[in-house]
Amino acid sequence: MDESIFKVAAVQAVPVFFDRESTVEKACRLIKEASQNGARLIVFPEVFVPGYPDWVWNGPASQISLNQELYGLYSLKKRLKNIM
């Protein structure tokens, strides 16, 4: 087999929003599936992990800071829950 030719898989999936551990588990399942189908290089969308929703940065200028604050508070709450 010519080692310079190989199959590539581009993953088109959404993460498990606000849940890094579940997103990593999902990524592992997708990697396994792609490799079982012959892929030797598997790529994911940018920021698949930690998987923050892109709507945090969108919307009217008057709401962007609110969305960012809400996302930050949710993320902090989840982190604190994991260490307590």
Residues classed as catalytic: 46
Q: Is the CB of residue 49 less than 8 Å from the CB of residue 23? A: yes
- Residue 2 carries which side chain, given as an amino acid letter? D
- For residues 16 and 18, what is the distance between their CA atoms, to the nearest angstrom? 6
3-state helix, strand, coil in the chain (%, to 5): 50, 10, 35
CA–CA–CA angle 53, 42, 22 (5° rounding):
40
